[in-house]
Structure 1
Amino acid sequence: MNNPCTHARPMARMATAIGLALALSGAASAVMAEEFPNKPLRMVVGFAPGGGADIVARLVGAKMAESLGQQVVIENRAGATGTIAADNVARSPADGYSLFLGSQSTMVVAPSLFPTLPFKPEKDFAPVSQVVTMPLILVVNPALVNARTVQELTDHIRKSGDGTLSYASSGQGGPQHIAGELYAHKVGTKVTHVPYKGESAAIADVLGGHVPYMFANLPVALPHISSGKLRPLAITSLKRDPKAPQIPTLAESGFKDFEVSTWYGVFAPANTPRPVVDKLSRSIRTALDQGDMQAKLGEQGFTIVGSDSAAFTRFVGAELPRWSVLIRDIGIKPE
């Protein structure tokens, strides 16, 4: 007869070994977090300098450096809707020293447009903190389009004929592209999409008279609106923005439930130790709590979020299916 004890002893030893390994792993992570960081960090941005993502990264990175005691180097790797930068960070060591400033264009829209992406946002990244959110603003070059309302621009598009008119965006799959296609879908007329490698290049061509209109990030567009070089028609949030309360929403302008906002958040590679992720998250939220930081981001048109890792993870998980359905319903395809 088999003695149950002969089976119980090895199992007990195995359980003890597993418990010890987990304890050692947890202790190692705690020590790593306590020593972290002991060298400069890098935050990779998937868009060119001067755009909304770059502005946020540089402001947040500078404040993180103060609290962490190490420099946060901003590294711009523009192209492919931010996916080049995202892939670079996804393949980096999971030690907290490589971070990605992601947006919904890269982390929740691109997976629906490009099913063969080399990374999966929900599996290859650890969300650290959602930093800011903001609406887009529909602007026209008044020298090219004499429209003062969304209805006047709509009439102009319809009279121009299918595909004759074009609009600019910071890149395929970004919120500006999605907003442009959603608007064209609701207008019922084809419009030619002109993607650029970053918002700075896109808005430069609108200012230069090469493209008549675009959906721009509010902080990038505001200085050109103030100078009169761009004319604002509407914003893409459901409520008017307190930074520009005189500008109506698309929903008010005859496009019911029209809402496309953009957000930026910090991600680390998957399997980055939880204590390190939490330390990074606290550093970001500490930065966002400072009055001068709030003033600078507010002046740029951003609304501060500053979520912790758990809340940001839930948010991204809810965004993925929402944008997938929207892209499918509009019929957006890779160009």
Structure 2
Amino acid sequence: MTIRRRQWLALHLQFAAALAAGAHWPLAQAEEAGPVRLLVGYPPGGGTDALARLLAQHLSQELGVTIVVDNRPGAAGQIAAQALKTSSPDGRTLLLSHDHTISILPQVLRRPGFDAHTDFQPVAGIATFVNCVAVASSHPAHTWQQFVEWLHEQDKPSMLAFGVPVPASTPEFLVHRLAQKYEKNLMAVPYRGSAPMLTDLLNGQLQVGIAAIQDFMELHQAGKVRILGVLGSQRQSALPTIPTLAEMGIEGFESVPFYGLYAPSGIDMQWVQRWEKAVQKVLQKPGVHQKIHDWAMTACYMDHSELDSRERMHSQVWSRIIHDNGFAPR
């Protein structure tokens, strides 16, 4: 065999090996430049952060890359979303977000600083969840009816303050709806995420909190808070005795929120397809599926096109809710 032929054969074998490892090739290039960042728009300790860390652990194993959760709290996820927009579409930066940042925030802010439909590439849907109303275990109400009776007895503004994780969110709009329903001057008090809100609820600085069910679930199971009602069209399998607010005559919030992974617009679609498959495999793991269920969420894989369709439909629902509430962008 001539030297030229041996060189050609060696190159051919290298190329074949590269093709065989094609699923990891671009990811390996990203790894050489540093770990993959998973942006989260909320502080550590909340439900979104917990889900991000669960996904980072298992996707790292599935894809063979290091994934680091990068918390960028503040402005209801706006800061993290803007960070994704300015990131290079090289596969090194993703955003884990629920519907508020993607579907609602652009409709309640005059200058959100991003357009989810043009600046982001949907990658994969992760899970669905519902929001709920909860009180501390020391609260006298054990049922929704008892809560309503307690509500009508209150006159002090501090007793009518409802904590919400972020402003202009599903929880805040629910506070407005409850105020109309029960003819009480309720006030939504926004926090910088669910973690500080939960601290005030547990310390007695707050009487009522409204947030995603995964933020309350472990505390509810430990007997430290009491979930009184959930949004959505049906009861949650993890909390079968807790009624929906639709059962209580509070309708209009039946569209179920969701979590999704997003990348900067312009990213290679072959990269998206690899992450889709990885997410699908991770969500099929019994341990991951059970953990998500324990948080009272539903593992719900969606490919990038399904996630995009779900988000656009959810945006239309919230466009109507925002309009019906007479809410003007801030």
TM-score, normalised by the number of residues in structure 2: 0.86
Structure 1 residue aligned with 2:141: 147
Cα offset for 1:244? 0.8
Structure 1 residue aligned with 2:263: 268
1:67 to 58, 62, 67: 62
State the secondary structure of the residue aligned to 1:179. Answer: helix
When residues 255 and 84 of structure 1 are mapped into structure 2, their CA distance, relative to the original with a 3 A threshold, is same
Does the CA contact (< 8 Å) of 1:104 and 1:175 recur in 2?
no
Deviation digits for residues 119-153 of structure 1, max 9, x if unmatched? 1011100011110111122111243x422232332
Does the CA contact (< 8 Å) of 2:175 and 2:187 recur in 1?
no
- Matched AA of 1:121: A
Structure 2 residue aligned with 1:295: 290
1:37 corresponds to 2:39: no
Structure 2 residue aligned with 1:184: 179
Alignment gaps of 5+ in structure 2 = 1-20
When residues 88 and 116 of structure 1 are mapped into structure 2, their CA distance, relative to the original with a 3 A threshold, is same
* Matched residues, number: 304
2:104 to 100, 104, 109: 109
Cα offset for 1:333? 4.8
- Matched AA of 1:317: R
Alignment of 1:239-258 (within 5 A): 239-258=234-253
1:319 to 304, 308, 314: 314
State the secondary structure of the residue aligned to 2:174. Answer: helix
State the secondary structure of the residue aligned to 1:237. Answer: coil
State the secondary structure of the residue aligned to 2:257. Answer: strand
1:219 to 214, 217, 220: 214
Does the CA contact (< 8 Å) of 2:255 and 2:317 recur in 1?
no
Cα offset for 1:80? 0.4
Q: Which runs of 4+ in 1 moved over 4 A?
A: 31-34, 161-164
d(CA) in 2 for partners of 1:146, 1:290: 40
Structure 2 residue aligned with 1:121: 116
Structure 1 residue aligned with 2:76: 81
Identity of aligned residues (%): 27
State the secondary structure of the residue aligned to 1:42. Answer: strand
Bigger shift: 292-301 or 162-171?
162-171
Cα offset for 1:257? 4.9
Does the CA contact (< 8 Å) of 1:43 and 1:75 recur in 2?
yes
Cα offset for 1:288? 0.6
- Matched AA of 1:62: Q
d(CA) in 2 for partners of 1:185, 1:37: 52
Cα offset for 1:114? 0.2
- Matched AA of 2:148: T
Does the CA contact (< 8 Å) of 2:41 and 2:71 recur in 1?
yes
Does the CA contact (< 8 Å) of 2:24 and 2:63 recur in 1?
no
d(CA) in 2 for partners of 1:327, 1:162: 28
TM-score, normalised by the number of residues in structure 1: 0.85
Does the CA contact (< 8 Å) of 1:238 and 1:257 recur in 2?
no
- Matched AA of 1:123: T
d(CA) in 2 for partners of 1:334, 1:150: 32
d(CA) in 2 for partners of 1:293, 1:226: 19
d(CA) in 2 for partners of 1:72, 1:107: 22
Does the CA contact (< 8 Å) of 1:142 and 1:229 recur in 2?
yes
- Matched AA of 2:25: E
State the secondary structure of the residue aligned to 1:194. Answer: strand
Cα offset for 1:293? 1.0
Alignment gaps of 5+ in structure 1 = 1-30
Deviation digits for residues 59-106 of structure 1, max 9, x if unmatched? 111111111110111000000010100000111001221000111110
Deviation digits for residues 212-259 of structure 1, max 9, x if unmatched? 011232233122223332222111121111101111111122324543
d(CA) in 2 for partners of 1:115, 1:123: 17
Structure 1 residue aligned with 2:95: 100
When residues 260 and 50 of structure 1 are mapped into structure 2, their CA distance, relative to the original with a 3 A threshold, is farther
Structure 1 residue aligned with 2:15: none
d(CA) in 1 for partners of 2:328, 2:45: 28
Cα offset for 1:109? 0.7
1:131 corresponds to 2:126: yes
d(CA) in 2 for partners of 1:49, 1:138: 22
Bigger shift: 166-175 or 99-108?
166-175
Does the CA contact (< 8 Å) of 1:185 and 1:330 recur in 2?
no
d(CA) in 2 for partners of 1:290, 1:116: 40
- Matched AA of 1:174: S
Cα offset for 1:32? 8.7
Does the CA contact (< 8 Å) of 2:96 and 2:261 recur in 1?
yes
Does the CA contact (< 8 Å) of 2:24 and 2:64 recur in 1?
no
d(CA) in 1 for partners of 2:182, 2:256: 19
Root mean square deviation, CA, Å: 2.1
d(CA) in 2 for partners of 1:59, 1:36: 23
